[in-house]
Amino acid sequence: MKVYALLISFFALAACSGSDDEPIVPTVPTPERTYYRGMDLSFQSELESYDPVYRDAAGATVNLLDFVESAGTNLVRLKLWHTSEDGQNTLAQVLAYAQKIKQHNMAFMLDIHYSDTWADPSHQTPPAAWQGLTQEQLQTEVFDYTKSVLTAFKNQGTAPAFVQIGNETDSGFLWDYGRVWDAFDDNWPNYAALVSKAIDAVREVNGNDTKVILHHSKVENAVYFFTELQPFALDFDVIGLSYYPQFQTKNLITVQTKLNELAATFDKEIMIVEVAYPFTFEWDDNLTNYIGSADQIIGAYPATPQGQRDFMGRIDNIVKSIPNDKGIGWVYWAPDWVAFDGNETTTTGGSSWENQALWDFDHKALPAMGVFTP
């Protein structure tokens, strides 16, 4: 009987160890990654008052947002100035345009310059309202301002998917409080403290629903910048970069290598938040353009409609191929900044960008628009 009982126990255990009786562990699906092909439309609030006409490739008049959404654009970037010197890019204007973006089912990126005008590596001027503050007072202002801005967007149902803490902050921002260039190269703790306060405000309002971007102006120099920030363990999500061949390396293999190095070194998502390329060296108004000669571009991609399209296709492939899905997209800067009636008045000064727009001089959509199609 004992042997019989033991046999029964053995077979029972064997049966329980069979694959049919093993607990089934449910597979949790990996969320599908969104890859962004975006446009910076920060000029639209101003351009709309002049009612420029935009056309599709066949010449039919289109509504700009309807058209870019249908072309595949899934992200719109807008810059915000604190107390605008020229009445543009104000909080009220950006709030209003964010509502239009939401109505078109596109994500929204907010680029806070923390200045009353353009901020870039050579210009990081604090708002006039913040002049003369102590470092501690400025940190409080940065937190309160960021919180009030994010709250305003949240309250109207347009919380941004991404927010930039400063624009092209290679040199730091809010000079000289957070300056890190030249004689201020030991000032990284102050820069990091200011950025940290802004991030704290984003997290308080939107938690992790809004991804935080830190923005550097040059792909090839960004490793140094983010290495300097590592000791401060800043709570940001995305390395944002500008890439303009006019000002940077023209070797796209170097661009690819540096993007891969950034992703591997810092374990952050990567996005090129500013990129553009000319389709001609000609101009359509009386204002000098930023690009006008062959030495400013990449020889393999001439300043033609097809050259512009091929360049953007290559950029798209480079970002998509960053290992481990760290490359999450790119944003074309000012594709809508065409020449238009009234653009040579003292009000606007014209467009210095119409030969890098995504509409030609007849305002017909260019072939590069096809790169936005998934």
Residue-wise pLDDT tens digits, 157-179? 999 999 999 999 999 999 999 99
Do the domain assignments include residue 264? Answer: yes
Do the domain assignments include residue 20? Answer: no
Whether residue 189 has pLDDT greater than 60: yes
| Beta-strand relationship, 162-165 and 107-112 | parallel
Whether residue 11 has pLDDT greater than 50: no
User: Which residues does the annotation mark as catalytic?
Assistant: 168, 274
Do the domain assignments include residue 19? Answer: no
SS3 at position 241: strand
Do the domain assignments include residue 167? Answer: yes
Average pLDDT, the chain: 92
Number of domains in the chain: 1
**How confident is the model over 275-287, as a mean pLDDT?**
95
Give the number of other CB atoms < 10 A from CB of residue 154.
15
Do the domain assignments include residue 280? Answer: yes
pLDDT band with cut points at 50, 70 and 90 for residue 28:
low
Residue-wise pLDDT tens digits, 55-95? 999 999 999 999 999 999 999 999 999 999 989 999 999 99
Residue-wise pLDDT tens digits, 216-261? 999 999 999 999 999 999 999 999 999 999 999 999 999 999 999 9
Domain that holds residue 241: 34-372
| CATH value at residue 186 | 3.20.20.80
**How confident is the model over 350-363, as a mean pLDDT?**
96
Do the domain assignments include residue 139? Answer: yes
- Percent of all residues in the chain with a pLDDT value above 70, rounded to a whole number: 90
